[in-house]
Structure 1
Amino acid sequence: MSSEIPFCKAARTPVRGPEMAVPARSCDTHAHVFAHCADYPFALDRTYTPPEASLEDYLKLHRILGIDRGVLVQPSVYGTDNSLHLHALRQLREQGHDYRGVCVVDPEITIAELEELHEAGFRGVRMNLLFRGGLQWKEVLKLADRIAGMGWHLQFLINVADCDDIMDRVAALPVPVVFDHMGHMPAALGVEEPGFQKLLKLLKDNKAWVKLSGSYRVTMQEKYPYPDVTAIAAALVAANADRCIWGSDWPHPHFPGLMPDDTDLLEDLRVWVKDPDIRERILVSNPSRLYDFND
């Protein structure tokens, strides 16, 4: 294992539930689980090494937050080996839970392999242009055509301020596109930043979705609260509330700062979205449509 690969801190243990009313069937659309590396080896070219984050701890977090559904997103440290999250989704189903997944796959994946992932609950393919071990644009073009008939989407982990070429191509893709972490743009750049404006336009035109997640990754603040993120989140909701979803990003891998409190992250929706009916759409009906939940 290379000494140049940093180890991540563990997530904080939640100690309180939210004061905000959390509707039934609310969904956390962005989280990961990590197993011991001896059981599920990490990619050699990874950007970070995570601590263990078990499925049991993930479910405990959801019980505290009042969350009934979730989406496990394949992290870059496992490359295209989706076996851990595949196993986790099957285990969740056996326990009676309704969860979904987003995978990372090779563009040469067979239809039979995609169908196996679909049966387990996967509904999208992640495109990672920030960390080593992720997919590249040229590889995703082929995947977009392959998954178009499955009701799947592409999920982009990019900084919208640095990816003009990609932002200009999104509208022409044959599948929905979901942007991680509010476009992963530093909040200091503000809502007038050209790449962010392109994201707003895609939302207005129903060409994209966005996750109201990762606020602690885009803020310029050293600790919670993150008031500089409010304008970013509010602009996304104003552009198209029906294309916004929420995610915790638990257990917050590859983050060097002060670990956030997941209850704070959920309750930020009260700051960003004043209307409880819109919050319910963001937490319940929007992810239900996108991830094909069993309503």
Structure 2
Amino acid sequence: MTPAEATRGGRRVAAPPHPNPKVPDLRLPPRSCDAHCHIFGPGHVFPYPEDRAYDPPDVSKDDLRRRHDLLGLDRAIIVQSAAHGTDHSALLDALRTYPDAYRGVALLTPRTTPAEVAELHAAGVRGVRVQFMPHLGPGPTPDELRAVLDLVRPYAWHVAFHIAGDAVVDMFDTLRSTGLPAVIDHMARVDLATGLDGDQVRALRRLLDTGDVWVKLSAPERLSTEGPPYEDAVALARLLAAQAPERCLWGTDFPHPNVPEMPDDGVLVDLIERIVPDETARHRILVANPAGLADFPAEPR
């Protein structure tokens, strides 16, 4: 664990990822997928917008590939970051470089053109992320959300919701009524201080029961009130995985932008065995589920 947050000129500065993570003890099945990760720049090739929410470290497509090779992950879903906004140049470059290994999730607005959505789809984007996190900027209004959903509906993309705390309760009807697969990032970043039987976790579990909603078992370091080994967050992930393994995904959240303390990615991989003890369910969450949701080829070419 290393400090991971600072400020520069009033803007948050995200620290680089762990420089020397452990090699995981857990051997992952072939075609395992990191269903939530990011790339940043490098800034001299793919400049960051002036109005970015924070200053990221440069973490290139090749940095990501090296980290995945170390962890034993063959595939990944790269989520467009608020640090790049709606400029998808870096994401498109990564998807075109690793077309069988990587898929993408875009950030769109009602002003995004259908032609741009078509280009993103052709490159391997299979989802759109909508942010309801004040530190990343204002979330979409209901009309804006409908407009974005209409842009991606012809392609049947999934919709990744970045929410936290009571939003999983307050947005219950929205989360289950998109008409598209809805994926909740980071276990809805529920407040674990309210317990596993609190309103937030109950709402999250009810959403899983609808059959229309997926959950990423990612970012325990963001949820845990205890720090490593994140026992309270692992308990939540284990509960969700046991309830609906057919609609759970797992991801690193590498390179972990804006976390208070930087986790070791090898440790995060080893937590999977505690979250999903059953090998069949583990294969489903790591391989089959992301393959279906993100349209990966059945076998690598």
> TM-score, structure 1 length as denominator?
0.92
CA distance in 2: counterparts of 1:277 and 1:134, whole angstroms: 40
CA distance in 1: counterparts of 2:74 and 2:174, whole angstroms: 35
Distance 1:86 1:80, change over 3 A: same
How much has 1:56 moved relative to structure 2?
Answer: 1.3
Distance 1:100 1:126, change over 3 A: same
How much has 1:46 moved relative to structure 2?
Answer: 3.0
Q: Does 1:91 align with 2:94?
A: no
Q: Does 1:23 align with 2:29?
A: yes
Any idea what SS the aligned residue of 1:41 has?
coil
Percent identical among aligned pairs is: 37
Q: Which moved further from structure 2: 181-190 or 61-70?
A: 181-190
> TM-score, structure 2 length as denominator?
0.91
Distance 1:113 1:135, change over 3 A: farther
Q: 2:266 aligns with which of 263, 267, 282?
A: 263
CA distance in 2: counterparts of 1:214 and 1:44, whole angstroms: 27
* CA displacement 1:243-279 (0-9 Å, x = unmatched): 001100101111122x111111111111111111111
- CA RMSD in angstroms, aligned pairs only: 1.8
Q: 1:235 aligns with which of 239, 247, 251?
A: 239
What's the counterpart of residue 129 of structure 2?
Answer: 126
What's the counterpart of residue 100 of structure 1?
Answer: 103
CA distance in 2: counterparts of 1:207 and 1:43, whole angstroms: 35
Q: Does 1:152 align with 2:147?
A: no
CA distance in 1: counterparts of 2:86 and 2:139, whole angstroms: 9
What's the counterpart of residue 4 of structure 2?
Answer: none
Q: How many residues align?
A: 290
Q: Structure 2 stretches of 5 or more lacking a match? A: 1-6
CA distance in 2: counterparts of 1:5 and 1:15, whole angstroms: 28
After TM superposition, list the pairs within 5 Å mapping 1:47-126 onto structure 2.
47-93=53-99, 97-126=100-129
After TM superposition, list the pairs within 5 Å mapping 1:101-250 onto structure 2.
101-130=104-133, 131-133=135-137, 135-138=139-142, 139-222=144-227, 224-250=228-254
Q: Please tell me whether the aligned partners of residues 45 and 132 of structure 1 are also in contact (alpha carbons under 8 angstroms).
A: no
Q: Please tell me whether the aligned partners of residues 7 and 48 of structure 1 are also in contact (alpha carbons under 8 angstroms).
A: yes
Q: Partner amino acid for 1:273? A: V
How much has 1:143 moved relative to structure 2?
Answer: 1.7
Q: Partner amino acid for 1:32? A: H
CA distance in 2: counterparts of 1:178 and 1:165, whole angstroms: 16
CA distance in 2: counterparts of 1:226 and 1:165, whole angstroms: 26
What's the counterpart of residue 3 of structure 2?
Answer: none
Any idea what SS the aligned residue of 1:156 has?
strand
Q: Structure 1 stretches of 5 or more lacking a match? A: none
* CA displacement 1:98-124 (0-9 Å, x = unmatched): 210000012232222111100100001
Q: Partner amino acid for 2:179? A: P
Distance 1:106 1:18, change over 3 A: same
